[in-house]
Structure 1
């Protein structure tokens, strides 16, 4: 199986979904715990939730393999993203509930991690970088939106309930301040949903690495609370009754990003 799915679009917007994949190669699945094989920490149904993105002209890059195989939103050398906080690794060994993912003696070592980087991580990032370069070459500017979701309560990473809409721009380094201001304003207009900019989730490796406003790439991460569109307990069912409430606001956030491109950068497509 290829490490990603790609759907092209005419707009200068690339939506990355690095944690939507659920596939586990058989050789790895046999080494994992029973609980891990159900891949509970997936960004469940994010591709389905953003089913409107194609109508905006967005390019879509979606991982096929589980983050338990390799985390595409971590640096390839395993550098910690949030020093001083609890972090999961490039090749995760524990779940969000801090439970082991691998049977005793089966956790991946350094050599295996390097192999997974070459097999899964590099192809995804090569395509991501290629698309950003093509978009920037065509339009002069590229817009990158990294789409994520997570359970509304995960005590390992944050206390209490997470805000519903968590926008991140690496504390202002990955996107212009005007764009960030417009996006959090759009999120704040979503009645019934809470929002924050650069809170617990400021953006992972993808946002931080590729977001270079001075070089024509604006990158934003959205970590969405899963309670807004799905059942957070197994079997992690999609809830259309909830999704229809949050979808218009997600669409407005992406439209705001595109509007900024048109107005601030004169982009046309």
Structure 2
């Protein structure tokens, strides 16, 4: 079949520690897992069925590809490079924090190439939609815009119409609602997330972009997920991937 004219960006699905940071990191594998969007590559990757899928192996805790290039500590401990995880856990061993030279190296090695790929993808003729793919905690964390508040099962963000026309965003939200067998109130628009740096930067320039956030309650709970070993039922991930594929297909039907 002809691939759908969509580019998928998956910036937070990696769990790897950059080689440049060996010996500096205080997080264990659970801490890295908790600060990432766990298993989203398996959930969203429609390789071969869409125009392009862009993702990374590097964990969000070390290089956040969904941040502006000047969004850095100490002004923001949750910027492009971070000092704290989303739950306030220190990322680096005391005395081994990043200096300016190492930050620049991380940006050159991981951040700049990812965005170069995005820029090439959106410049290709015939592209109809970009989707930045994420997962979210079931309840807003301390650094979230909705601290302590329960979240919907899926959030679709279009920067309140600036990254993608409202009609297209509403249509895609309806396709997700149907494909995932959810009630309308379980799929929100721009609440709690309207769209991060990638959606704001590439959206409507000229391709419309959406940010999609799946609630981790859809998969990071028993019986699918085992917290001690961080093991995940592959059948559940395949099911979510198939549902997402159905939503994309229905959108273009």
Choose the corresponding residue for 1:152, options 138, 142, 156: 138
Q: 1:115 to 1:244 in 2, by over 3 A?
A: closer
Match in the other structure for 2:53: 60
Choose the corresponding residue for 2:17, options 24, 43, 58: 24
Choose the corresponding residue for 1:69, options 62, 66, 69: 62
Choose the corresponding residue for 2:244, options 250, 255, 258: 250
Secondary structure, in 3 states, of the residue corresponding to 1:19?
Answer: coil
Match in the other structure for 1:197: 189
Distance of 1:180 and 1:147 partners within structure 2: 14
Q: Deviations over 1:3-40 (max 9, x none)?
A: xxxxxx84321111111111113441311114367512
Normalising by structure 2, report the TM-score.
Answer: 0.83
Q: CA deviation at 1:110?
A: 3.5
Distance of 1:173 and 1:30 partners within structure 2: 42
Distance of 1:203 and 1:63 partners within structure 2: 19
Which moves more between the two structures, 105-114 or 141-150?
105-114
* Structure 2 residue 210 is the aligned partner of structure 1 residue 220: yes
Match in the other structure for 1:265: none
Q: Which runs of 5+ in 1 are unaligned?
A: 1-8, 81-85, 260-269
Q: 1:13 to 1:232 in 2, by over 3 A?
A: farther
Secondary structure, in 3 states, of the residue corresponding to 1:59?
Answer: strand
| Residues paired across the two proteins, number | 239
Distance of 1:205 and 1:119 partners within structure 2: 19
Match in the other structure for 1:237: 231
Q: Deviations over 1:205-250 (max 9, x none)?
A: 11000001xx430100111112212338443332345446544542
* Structure 2 residue 163 is the aligned partner of structure 1 residue 174: yes
* Structure 2 residue 88 is the aligned partner of structure 1 residue 98: yes
Normalising by structure 1, report the TM-score.
Answer: 0.78
Report if aligned partners of 1:36, 1:102 keep a CA contact under 8 Å in 2. no
Q: Deviations over 1:101-148 (max 9, x none)?
A: 1111222234432222111100011011101112xx2x2x43111111
Q: CA deviation at 1:152?
A: 1.7
Secondary structure, in 3 states, of the residue corresponding to 1:12?
Answer: strand
Distance of 2:56 and 2:48 partners within structure 1: 21
Question: What is the aligned-residue RMSD (CA, Å)?
Answer: 2.6
